[in-house]
Amino acid sequence: MYKYYFRPGYGSENLLIEIFEGTENETFVSDFLDAVCEINPKLNDVLDLWMNDEIEMFYDSEAGAFALSKDIWGFAFITAENNQEGLARINSILEKASLFEKFEVDFENYK
């Protein structure tokens, strides 16, 4: 089971999806893509940010563009700064996905 928050970025009004448990699974990326398959995500580019031990994948989809970043500390983030509606759609899909569990957060904690 993957646990996540749908929350604002720190000091930002833009929302993001933070997956804070389960990302160490080898199947995380494929499980995420399977969960959101209804929006037909297509990989555009991959950046390997070796200095931060992070990988960032950029996708186009029927819900618009978004990025998935994953680090070695067990966190993954789905962001879409210029596509907040698409990000909300991804959240709605994950809320119904059997492998994902959403946890509510207080938006005040991220100001």
16 three-class SS: strand
How far apart CA 85 and CA 108 sit, in angstroms, is 21
Domain that holds residue 73: 2-110
Task: Please tell me the predicted confidence (pLDDT) of residue 38.
Answer: 98
CATH number of the CATH domain containing 102? 3.30.160
CA distance readout (Å), 29 to 6, 12, 14:
18, 26, 23
Positions of the chain with pLDDT lower than 50, given as ranges: none
Task: Please tell me the predicted confidence (pLDDT) of residue 52.
Answer: 64
pTM of the model: 0.92
How far apart CA 18 and CA 1 sit, in angstroms, is 14
Task: Please tell me the predicted confidence (pLDDT) of residue 51.
Answer: 64
Q: What is the arrangement of strands in the sheet containing 76-79, beginning at the earlier edge strand?
A: 42-49, 54-60, 66-71, 76-79, 15-21, 2-8, 100-102
Residue 42 backbone dihedrals phi, psi, to 5 degrees: -125, 125
**Pairing mode, if any, of strands 100-102 and 2-8?**
parallel
Number of domains the chain contains: 1
